[in-house]
Structure 1
Amino acid sequence: MAATARIADAPRGVDQVVREELRPRVAEIDAGAYPEAALRALGGSGAFGHHLGEAGEGLLAAVDAMGLVGEACLSTAFCVWCQDALAWYLARSEEAGPRRHLAAVASGEALGGTGLSNPMKALAGIEPLALEGRREGNGYRVRGRLPWVSNLGPGHRFAGIFALPDGRRLMGLFEAGGKAVSISANARFVALEGTGTYTVMVRDAFVPDEDIVSGDTAAFVPRIRNGFVLLQTGMGLGLARGVAAMMRQDARGREQARFLPLGPEAIEERAEALRERVAAAAQVHAETGRGAFLEILRLRLDVSLLALEAAQAGMLQLGARGYLEGAEAFRRLREAQFVAIVTPSVKHITTELARGV
């Protein structure tokens, strides 16, 4: 499918938001500016609402919208994924309380993220669950520390999973920025600095029953994990296409690099083949078996590898021009590394695949 066809089929307004709100600010965002205006405009375009039903077409539309954003800026595409993931959980909650936030999240009126990096690793046996809670009145007291939660700011909500003394694990909504749920930026990243990523300290925060997304995460997580991972493919596919476009625009360098092993045509062909696999996987996203999840992980791995190879190809074509501070090729190289290390990382995925069914 040609890039122009993808834009024509994309949610109305996403391409315009990318062109007018995002591309002029990419350098600022890469340096650490949070793209709040672009995110709210994307919400207004409907970018965060396509995947709220059960239909696979909606999930694919969300991936395509994220891909358009990722062609320009992976930081913003990652924030889109965080927003999409939060909406994904809320839409699948069987509880009326947390679903009251869904319309605001889907429209971009309310921004927020997902604190499920640690729980996904905990479920895989990579690290212990970071949050613990106890029953108190009409809710729970929760404490713990989450090293990295993204798309946050004061008043933003995020979903987190905490363990009770009896071993049960619940998912609840937390509001960032107060004394009980404080956020702090304790490190500076080589990329994705503008994503509102913070360390979160949860100090006996009260989570009322009406903000419990799931009281049984053992059953809930298998229902959301395929979409959680599948949505991430929009980041890598968008980055790869953005690199291919950058390479095409560099006419002089393209001629000199014509004998390199990976050019823009091959990148675009591989991206389109992966998108077709995303479309097929989206149709069966509701399957909860481990075999289905492993297939999603294989797809996510292949997207990560394409992003890495495409960014490397772009750097090789640009050569010394891409090695300058502020160069687009270097930004895309740094961004591609993030695609490979964000949960589930390549290391995490290959471990799961080695375990098998």
Structure 2
Amino acid sequence: MTQAIRNQDDALAWVAAHAASLDREASHADQVVPVLGAAGFFRIGVPVELGGSGGTTWDAVEAIARVAEHSLTAAFVFWGQRCFIGYLLDSDNTVLRERVLPVLLSGELAGATGLSNAMKYLSGIESLSVAATPTADGWTLDGRLPWVTNLRRSGYVVAAAVEPTDGQPPAVVALFHDTPGAVRSDDLELLALRGSNTAAIDIRGVASGAGELIAADARAFLPRVRPAFLSLQCGMSIGLARASLAASKASGSAARAGLQARIDRIETDLVDAIAALRSGLADGRFATQAAPLFHIRIRLAGIVREAADLELDATGGRAYLLATTGAFARRWLEAAFVPVVTPSLTQLHGELERQAALRAA
């Protein structure tokens, strides 16, 4: 299958051809990572000396957006893979990086960001869900990761934040698909995006040592990786909004003329949000100022919702007929996912309110 993927256009064509399947069921789920890897997507924004094709985090955001124009499921998988790659790039564990990074970049191994719980922990929303009991040469881990994407059954590695029971700082560790005691559940019964290999992991008596350590101090590590975590996630919204706008303009609806002002306004809003995201990544402000990035993520979710509504209005009754809906029904459900993916809009608004209250005090 991957032998037929010669370049990124081939990969995007494959994603487009299988978008409906990836949304509805899991028959092509295990092919997404190899397809994107064969096309070099995971190398974007990774230093050349580490096996990448160079570029910046913004280039990776734009790559995820390109995939999301065709399938949010594939883009969601891409996001998880690229986040884990970013964790290795930021880790001091060179042995782990040298062991795992090449097969992540090629798409031979799936990488999953199990740090949604940790991002909520960072904002004071919830406690860490994995306990780490000290042993002579590391920890024994116990807990559960209830929602993790890109757990490809043929091989994956997932990042997890753990809370030592002896009062030491929380840490971030890697768990592999064949780690004894780490058990993947069946796929979660999602409303859509069912080809994303999303499942839970039960962690019982898992031995973890220096070889699996991504970061010894999660409190220092998580703020460093959060800008990429959220910015890469924004790529999903950017691509989906572009797809709905393109469909609206191509609808040929008799009412099209009456929608042009909305099309222009949403496109302008999208361009402005993209410019703000790109600028914040370029000057590094998101590393010390999380609030502007939160606002961009919220703004993009609103743009996705408006673009989906616009596509419905432009398509009219054809959108509600199975024979003529095209990709609208899939994009409608994809748009419903954007507000709830961690951190959800509710969580982001709550964190902004908390920060405002602290400033006021």
The normalised TM-score by structure 2 is 0.88
Residue aligning to 1:156: 156
SS of corresponding position for 2:125: coil
Residue aligning to 1:300: 297
Aligned partner letter, 1:52: V
| Equivalences for residues 128-143 of structure 1 within 5 A | 128-143=127-142
1:27–1:134 distance in 2 versus 1, CA, 3 Å: same
Q: Distance in 1 between matches of 2:102 and 2:62?
A: 21
Are 1:181 and 2:179 an aligned pair? Answer: no
1:244-273 residue CA offsets vs partner (Å, 9 max, x unmatched): 12122221x2x3243248644433332222
1:98-121 residue CA offsets vs partner (Å, 9 max, x unmatched): 212122212222112110111111
Is the CA contact (8 Å cut-off) linking 1:30 and 1:191 kept in structure 2?
yes
Unaligned runs of 5+ in 2: 1-5, 49-53
Residue aligning to 2:8: 14
Residue aligning to 2:66: 68
SS of corresponding position for 1:259: helix
Residue aligning to 2:79: 81
1:314–1:121 distance in 2 versus 1, CA, 3 Å: same
The normalised TM-score by structure 1 is 0.89
1:294–1:323 distance in 2 versus 1, CA, 3 Å: same
SS of corresponding position for 2:287: coil
Q: Distance in 2 between matches of 1:333 and 1:17?
A: 23
Are 1:267 and 2:266 an aligned pair? Answer: yes
| More moved, 191-200 vs 40-49 | 40-49
Residue aligning to 1:219: 220
SS of corresponding position for 1:153: coil
Residue aligning to 1:95: 93
Q: Distance in 2 between matches of 1:120 and 1:301?
A: 16
SS of corresponding position for 2:41: coil
1:53–1:166 distance in 2 versus 1, CA, 3 Å: farther
Residue aligning to 1:27: 20
Residue aligning to 1:59: 57
1:75–1:298 distance in 2 versus 1, CA, 3 Å: same
1:90-137 residue CA offsets vs partner (Å, 9 max, x unmatched): 100011232121222122221121101111112222222110011223
Is the CA contact (8 Å cut-off) linking 1:237 and 1:271 kept in structure 2?
yes
Q: CA RMSD in A?
A: 2.3
Offset of 1:83 from its aligned partner? 0.4
| More moved, 272-281 vs 170-179 | 170-179
Residue aligning to 1:352: 351
Is the CA contact (8 Å cut-off) linking 2:181 and 2:204 kept in structure 1?
yes
| Equivalences for residues 260-339 of structure 1 within 5 A | 260=259, 263-285=262-284, 288-289=287-288, 292-325=289-322, 327-339=326-338
| More moved, 347-356 vs 171-180 | 171-180
Q: Distance in 2 between matches of 1:38 and 1:235?
A: 16
Offset of 1:142 from its aligned partner? 0.6
